């Protein structure tokens, strides 16, 4: 699990704090608005995810991206065990950066993440919806490759 501050010349990547929540929710709503065919924005679901990804739980972490003392993005990092890779996969879920800084900051964060991934991490995964495959070009440029797997899911009755 990644649970410490990361710093580059481009930005500071740190764990979300309670003081960040109001602005973080505005960014989460902006990210949601950019997605096509998304269900209505639900701040309570976002906050439930934040609660689950507290470092003490070991499931992952929520990072905010800070540049010039302003939060410009965030990422939910989720720890997943992969039996295929026999190790931990860090899933960069809901990676969002404000549009004017998106490519530079997202690339910086992912490049740094590859370098500082915790021991036992076999890969970093970023999920790009099929409809948004055109937006995957910056990730391919960084060295990310399509896994070739298709995912299917079914909701349980326990939600």
pLDDT of 158 higher than 60 = no
Give domain status of residue 147, yes or no.
Answer: no
pLDDT band at 155 (very low <50, low <70, confident <90, very high): low
Give domain status of residue 76, yes or no.
Answer: yes
Q: Is 119 left (phi over 0), alpha (psi -120 to 50) or beta?
A: beta
Q: What local confidence, expressed as pLDDT, does residue 19 receive?
A: 97
Give domain status of residue 107, yes or no.
Answer: yes
pLDDT band at 28 (very low <50, low <70, confident <90, very high): very high
Q: What local confidence, expressed as pLDDT, does residue 46 receive?
A: 95
Domain count, the chain: 1
Give domain status of residue 17, yes or no.
Answer: yes
Q: What local confidence, expressed as pLDDT, does residue 7 receive?
A: 94
Domain range for residue 99?
A: 6-142
Give domain status of residue 158, yes or no.
Answer: no
Encode burial over 99-137: b for 16+ CB neighbours within 10 A, e otherwise: eebbeebbbbbbebbeeebeeebebbebeeeeeeeeeee
pTM of the shown model:
0.86
pLDDT band at 54 (very low <50, low <70, confident <90, very high): confident
Per DSSP (E only), the strands in 5-151 are 6-7, 12-15, 60-67, 70-82, 87-97, 121-126
pLDDT of 145 higher than 90 = no
For the stretch 81-90, pLDDT in tens is 989 889 999 9
Give domain status of residue 77, yes or no.
Answer: yes
Q: What local confidence, expressed as pLDDT, does residue 132 receive?
A: 52
Q: What local confidence, expressed as pLDDT, does residue 151 receive?
A: 56
CATH number of the CATH domain containing 30? 3.40.630.30
Nearest to 1 by CA among 54, 65, 70, 75: 54
Q: What local confidence, expressed as pLDDT, does residue 156 receive?
A: 56
Give domain status of residue 86, yes or no.
Answer: yes
Give domain status of residue 92, yes or no.
Answer: yes
């Amino acid at each position: 699990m990644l649970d410490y501050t990361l710093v580059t010349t481009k930005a500071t990547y740190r764990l979300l704090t309670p003081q960040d929540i109001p602005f973080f929710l505005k960014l989460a709503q902006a990210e949601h608005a950019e997605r096509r065919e998304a269900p209505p924005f639900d701040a309570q679901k976002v906050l439930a995810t934040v609660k689950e990804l507290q470092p003490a739980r070991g499931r992952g972490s929520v990072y905010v991206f800070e540049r010039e003392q302003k939060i410009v993005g965030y990422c939910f990092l989720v720890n997943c065990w992969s039996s295929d890779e026999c190790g931990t996969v860090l899933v960069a879920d809901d990676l969002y950066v404000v549009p004017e800084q998106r490519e530079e900051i997202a690339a910086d964060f992912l490049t740094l993440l590859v370098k500082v991934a915790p021991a036992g991490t076999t890969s970093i995964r970023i999920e790009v919806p099929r409809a948004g495959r055109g937006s995957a070009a910056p990730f391919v440029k960084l060295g990310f490759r399509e896994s070739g797997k298709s995912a299917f899911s079914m909701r349980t009755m326990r939600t």
